Structure 1
Amino acid sequence: MRGFTLLEVMIALAITAGVLLTVISSVNHHLARISADTEETTAVLLGRAKLEDPEFAKKTDNKGDFAPDHPDHKWEREITQSEIPTLNRIRLTVTWNNDSKRLSLVQYAPQNAQ
């Protein structure tokens, strides 16, 4: 008689199931990381573009959003004096996902530039 016993088939199926579960959970984890990284990269790029905009330094508003392209992303600016008397610290905080996620960018600028 040739063939596999029931025990051998059950062990092979258990090993296969374990490997498949590991692969599926690994793929799900990495897809979630890619999504989070994409959101964070978008927030960094939006914040940097806002800080580098010459018109942004002239604005008196300290809050806003990135509409119409990214209306779910909001920004908030805080200007404080730094340790160096002639420099201001500009902290731009970008929030998204209904303010559940946030990212802060800091830039130093001369006081007369604002």
Structure 2
Amino acid sequence: MSLLDLVLNSLQDNKAEDIITIDLKGKSSMADHMVVASGRSARQVSALAENLHTRIKDVTGKVATIEGKGAGDWVLLDAGDIIVHIFRPEVREFYQLEKMWLTESADSTNA
């Protein structure tokens, strides 16, 4: 199982909403993929990030970096080749992060 599959499966298993995968290969040196997802509440956003962090560590042995988990509005999880953004829906709509990248990346996919 690839790291991307692991991330997507974890988010889906924990009921994340509106999961979008953006292919960054050749477009950015920071990562190969960006995953953007939503949780219904600050509590769910934090739980999605914590569960994903634990699953990555348990399966790969790597420790991903998490920022923003305490507030639960927007959590960034850096898993090396994959950057994961988990938002509350209102915050996601405000920042429209994936729209910026989707206009740059014609070959993005929806999960």
Q: TM-score, normalised by structure 1?
A: 0.29
Query: Which structure dedicates a bigger proportion of its chain to helix?
Result: 1
Higher relative contact order (CA 8 A, sep 6+): 2
Query: Which structure dedicates a bigger proportion of its chain to strand?
Result: 1
Q: Whose radius of gyration is greater, 1 or 2?
A: 1
